Amino acid sequence: MDKNARICIVGGGPAGLSAGMYLEKKGYTNYTILERLDRVGGKCWSPTYNGRRYEMGAIMGVPSYYAVHDVEEFCGITHDGPKLNRNYKNGQGKVIEPFEPKKNLFKIPRLLKMKKQIKKLGEILETKYKGYDLNGHRGVSEGRYEGFSQTNAKREPVSGTNPNLKDLSLPFNKFCELNGVELTQDVWIGPFTSFGYGYFDEIPAAYVLKYLDFQTCMNFVKINLWTWKNGTQYIWEQLNDHLMHPAVLSQTIEKVERKDDKVYVTANGETKEYDYIIVTAPLYIPDKRADGQIGMVDYFDARDDEKELFSKIDYERYDVLAVETKPEDHPEISYYVFDNMVPAKLGHLMVYYRRWRDTKDQVITTYALRKHKDMEEVPYDVCRQTVLDDLKVMGNPASNVINEWSVYYFPHVFSEDYKNGWYEKVEAMQGKYRTFYAGEIMSFGDMDETAEYSRELVERFF
């Protein structure tokens, strides 16, 4: 491709900013990043309270976040944030230690069985499901893998055939049953469902295992985590500052027309001409959102194939509250509430975080899911009140809500569409209309997976 090609990137989150960085590294400098909001970072949002930043979106990373590390090296920054730790409570607010045999003598047989199943899962992922952990989903429904290895930072290209990969289209609970590792869900659920990515009876195993590959999940278990003193948003603010062309903020894209081998983008009333466009913003949003965010098909000259495929996308309703407590009610640590991580407890508090351990003048943040594909969605206000009530049950009542966010979260397709080749069809469209599709839906909804997909997109097509 011509290195002077004019490239428009839609979205100034991790995917869009990373696309700009990787394009720069390959010698493409004629790019423009358009961001709808007045800030960069997307779901990495780190506001300030009492002189310190707290997290409303992404909280942490792990050593296998190679794309995030690329950004750190590009910007000359590092993961210098507070060390995180956590404990567990049951639904009645009692502190429990679910994985400690000495504290759960009657559960020892189950815990021993779970330990064996975790080992078994690690083994079959490396053998029976070879290729499972590549970034993105191309080829999986056809029983093949194609991409870049995620075993180390070199990310060397790999490809092959493995019919067993088709099993990844199953909901994760069915995948675990198929392989006799049902108890591993007790471990995987913490960094998956409580982080807002849905329930194991509805989400294809591919999403679970590409995000929580064995190496990454074990890092979460061992609390081998990265944080950033100035928040996860700081990573992307720094990247934006170091790019040759920082994102243009507060841009409302009104129209995109693709004709005559050009792409015409109208934003804030001004039309500009490009050669290609990379979309890292949502492709489709099934319901009208209060924040006015819309999908690509609503402002593009969307073609029938784009409309048909992207209409299959759903997303989670995941809500975050930042609350103050009285000093005597401040939790001593972060807590997971496993009892609430099941569909029957939709809308309840699943996890709450204390980011700063050296002071009580900071907020804690709470997280709740209020959607399951087979259940009635819990209204936002009902979920909000339920979470506040749950904090009282936990013994850490809120004295004030200082921030709240219900963001478009974790776009995905369900098992039937995954099995029927949704990803293969979309990947076959890359570049077709001088348009490239990136962002969360093409990989997974965490910052590293989206950034890594942008890296691979640039490697494949530019």
Cβ neighbour number for residue 273 with a 10 Å cutoff: 11
In contact, 194 and 319? CB cutoff 8 Å: no
HSE-up of 197 (CA within 13 Å, CB side)? Answer: 26
Residues 86 and 212: their CA atoms lie apart, in Å, by: 19
Question: Among candidates 192, 205, 210, which has minimal Cα distance to 147?
Answer: 210
Do 31 and 159 belong to one domain? no
Go through 186-205 and write b for each residue having 16 or more CB atoms within 10 A of its CB, e for each that does not: bbbbbbbbbbbbbbbebbbb
Do 211 and 236 belong to one domain? no
DSSP-derived letter for residue 249 is P
Do 12 and 152 belong to one domain? no
Do 169 and 194 belong to one domain? yes
Tabulate helix, strand, coil % of the chain (nearest 5): 35, 20, 45
Do 234 and 210 belong to one domain? no
CATH assignment at residue 127: 1.10.405.20
Full residue range of the structural domain in which residue 35 is found: 7-47+63-77+229-313+413-461
Output the pLDDT for position 238. 98
End position of a domain, from candidates 187, 218, 249: 218
| Helix residue ranges, H only, 328-419 | 380-394, 415-419
Cβ neighbour number for residue 257 with a 10 Å cutoff: 13
In contact, 21 and 278? CB cutoff 8 Å: no
The 3-state DSSP class for residue 296 equals helix
End position of a domain, from candidates 160, 193, 218: 218
Per-residue tens of pLDDT for the chain, all 462 residues: 899 999 999 999 999 999 999 999 999 999 999 999 999 999 999 999 999 999 999 999 999 999 999 999 999 999 999 999 999 999 999 999 988 888 778 889 999 999 999 999 999 999 999 999 999 999 999 999 999 998 888 999 999 999 999 999 999 999 999 999 999 999 999 999 999 999 999 999 999 999 999 999 999 999 999 999 999 999 999 999 999 999 999 999 999 999 999 999 999 999 999 999 999 999 999 988 888 899 999 999 999 999 999 999 999 999 999 999 999 999 999 999 999 999 999 999 999 999 999 999 999 999 999 999 999 999 999 999 999 999 999 999 999 999 999 999 999 999 999 999 999 999 999 999 999 999 999 999 999 999 999 999 999 999
Output the pLDDT for position 107. 85
Question: Among candidates 365, 325, 279, 339, which has minimal Cα distance to 93?
Answer: 339
Output the pLDDT for position 403. 98
Residue 324 lies in a domain: no
Cα-Cα end-to-end distance for the chain: 6
Determine the residue type at 460.
R
Do 233 and 212 belong to one domain? no
Residue 146 lies in a domain: yes
In contact, 171 and 203? CB cutoff 8 Å: yes
Determine the residue type at 415.
S
Residues 278 and 44: their CA atoms lie apart, in Å, by: 20
Tokens linked to 163: 């019919």
Number of domains in the chain: 2
Question: Among candidates 313, 315, 297, 280, which has minimal Cα distance to 418?
Answer: 313
Residue 321 lies in a domain: no
DSSP-derived letter for residue 97 is -
Q: Kindly report the pTM of this predicted structure.
A: 0.96
Do 298 and 421 belong to one domain? yes
End position of a domain, from candidates 177, 195, 218: 218
Tokens linked to 371: 């959607």
422 beta partners:
none
Question: What angle do the packed helices 447-461 and 66-75 form, to 10 degrees?
Answer: 80
HSE-up of 131 (CA within 13 Å, CB side)? Answer: 23
Q: What are phi and psi of 270, to 5 degrees?
A: -115, 130
Do 211 and 241 belong to one domain? no
Output the pLDDT for position 104. 77
Tokens linked to 95: 């502190």
CATH assignment at residue 300: 3.50.50.60
Do 72 and 103 belong to one domain? no
